[in-house]
Amino acid sequence: ELLRLEIKSVDDLIGPGAAPGTVPTDLEQSTGLERLEILGKMEGVDIFDMRPLDASRRGTLENPIMVKGAGEEQYAGCTGSPADSHNVIWLTMSRDRPIERCPECGSVYKLEYIGPEDDDHGHHDDHGHHGFEEPKTFADYVKPSYW
């Protein structure tokens, strides 16, 4: 029998805790994203879509490997094409810089943002977080037509 649970507010992501004198289960003591993940698994839903990325081909600028993400940044590990052609190279994509290229094999990855549309993703008038400016990389010098 499947347990039908609905998450309607943040309050639904706070576990009830354990009864006095007992050891809590993960479901009873979990909160936030961990609780959402456990509730999803109980329903047979992989909340964070942990399936491997497409490694059957090398991503290109015209046809990148798409990486879904609901947050400000998303990390992806590239092992080359075919899979395991090189050691894992971790790449960071963000909403501001959604395209990354693996420095080892050249495969191109692109963030597909699937989060809430009204999220201003940290943009402030000062274009920096308390004076912090992200260091420049080669991506800052790519022709605009590539983006």
Q: Determine the Cα–Cα distance for residues 17 and 146; give it in Å rounded to an integer.
A: 51
The verdict on whether omega for the bond into residue 82 sits within 30 degrees of 0, i.e. cis, is yes
The CA distances from residue 48 to 6, 41, 66, 88, 144, in Å, are 17, 10, 15, 20, 32
What digits encode the pLDDT tens for the residues 91-124?
A: 999 999 999 999 999 999 999 998 777 655 555 4
Judge whether 130 is annotated as a binding position: no
Judge whether 86 is annotated as a binding position: yes
Task: Please state the pTM of the whole predicted model.
Answer: 0.61
16-25, 47-56, 66-75, 122-131: the lowest-pLDDT one? 122-131
Contact 96, 87 (CB under 8 A): no
Q: Determine the Cα–Cα distance for residues 89 and 76; give it in Å rounded to an integer.
A: 8
Judge whether 102 is annotated as a binding position: yes
Judge whether 124 is annotated as a binding position: no
